[in-house]
Amino acid sequence: MIKAKNPVLTGFHADPSILRVGDWYYIANSTFEWYPGVEIHRSRDLVSWESVRSPLGEKRLLDMEGAEASCGIWAPCLSWSDGLFYLIYTNVRSWNSGPWKDTPNYLTTAPSVEGPWSDPVYLDSSGFDPSLFHDDDGRKWLVNMEWDYRKTGSAQFSGILLQEYSPAEKRLVGPIRKIFRGSEIGMVEGPHLYKRNGWYYILAAEGGTTWEHAATVARSRAIEGPYEPHPFNPLISSYGHPETPIQKAGHASWCDTDDGRTYLAYLCGRPLPGTLYCPLGRETGITELVWKDDWPWVKPAGGAALLEGGRVKNWPDETFEPPLITEELKRAAGPDGIVALPSRTKEYRFTGNAIDGDFKSLRVERDPDRYSLTARPGWLRLVGGQSPVSRYGQTLLAVRQRDFAFEAETKLEIDPVSFQHMAGLTWRYDETNQYLLAVSRNDGERKRTLNAMTMVDKVFTRGDDIYLPETGPLWLGLTVDGRYGRFRYSLDGVNWVILRPTLDSAVLSDEYGGLGFTGAFTGLFCVDTQTLSGGADFEYFLYKA
């Protein structure tokens, strides 16, 4: 038996929205403050996934300038109807600054998943996690959670709202109905609607996005309800099962195969062994569902043999059976039948016409003059932006950390103008928690220097100056082995010097220092807080799993 290993999308890939169109499966994921917005992958077998160009890569579609960390794109929904892809998304403008959340929701469409995407249509702002359901009678319905600022705690998640969407008028029409208040787990969000055998199903996330996270199901004969809860909710959750390495299972969506099977894509997290920290962020796993008495169950179906202490087995497994066993999967399977994940080692060169789509930046569309592939052919020139703690105009390119153990490396050339002009290698979570290896220039002796800098819970430390030759390239590196990492540098790309301090990867997790929703990234940066004009040239960037 061939099995695939979870998670299928490693590293920060939260809030999966899964869809099948023809022979292709698609998953859309949240990106929060990272740009371009909404990550989309596609696959024919639910195992091997390839990245599709992010849809929200233009300022007309997404502008997050000034957004706080973990604002931006929350829980997009990708659907297909009438020959069009529909993308629903929230551009969260505030979320943790008081009792309110500012959550404008938008819709854009495209004839292909790769675009072009239409100008966004504003829908509402009553809550986040919007989703569009296409009924078989041609009508379209928006659901989203409602945020009630008047209440406290989990009661602020006051229920799931339903309203009809008119494509002709490009707006929501008709009455707003609250159709589901969630279960006793609480904090209901992330809703999706489905229809099967005359039943309407609402699938929703509950329990917050940490260890008690879950996905619950309810059904009704009418779209407006009342909705009857699943007799063995939650449908999926890791809560109460610390033995499984797949934790935080919840926020989910499902789709059917062409032969009628159902697969669930769900959010999950993997803590570093022996800790409660998940620097890889919230990832995407897959499991098959089966149907019994018109209820979905995590495969195998519920029954007396599967009851453990009065509970149905609903926690996720590390593996699942793919719906399509290709010759490629057979070749990739080991003696145990488990398909080996493709290597995530990749060397990025800057010789083409576009920056690789694995690279993300922050909040706004990239200015090609500040991220230039033409200023020095074969190199990437970054022009210094604002400081590493600014929410406006940082110049930064980074890729997700997708492995507990990895190396990052780059070669750069820079002639710093002042101590305010610097460039180098970053390993970061957000503006308040990050590590930087920076080439700059000191004041007095006017020499090039190298410094390891840390920002941990807003507390900044700067290592001693390491004096460098005035000319010539430099190689900068980062080696991470589970919980800890160290920066290193080289003058020839062969002989390396390992630097202090030891860097704690736990700092770069949702669980450290307060609530967040993303994960660790590593990449390249350039800062010039004096004139915003000093640059640095990078020949390559290597991520080695």
- Tell how many helices (H) and how many strands (E) occur in the chain: 1, 43
Q: What angle do CA 405, 408, 410 make, to 5 degrees?
A: 170
Q: Which of 33, 189, 365, 537 is catalytic?
A: 189
Q: Are 520 and 512 in contact (CB under 8 A)?
A: no
Q: Which of 15, 33, 146, 413 is catalytic?
A: 15
Task: For residue 212, indicate whether it is catalytic.
Answer: no
Q: What angle do CA 349, 345, 275 make, to 5 degrees?
A: 130
Please report the DSSP string for 441-465 in residue order: E-SSS--EEEEEEEEETTEEEEPPP
Q: Are 395 and 363 in contact (CB under 8 A)?
A: no
Please report the DSSP string for 468-507 in residue order: --SSS-EEEEEEEETTEEEEEEESSSSSEEE-SSPEEGGG
Helix, strand, coil % (nearest 5) of the chain? 5, 50, 50
* Cα–Cα distance, 526 to 538 (Å, whole number): 10
Task: For residue 15, indicate whether it is catalytic.
Answer: yes
* Cα–Cα distance, 99 to 344 (Å, whole number): 41
* Cα–Cα distance, 435 to 418 (Å, whole number): 21
Q: Are 261 and 288 in contact (CB under 8 A)?
A: yes
Active-site annotation, residues: 15, 189
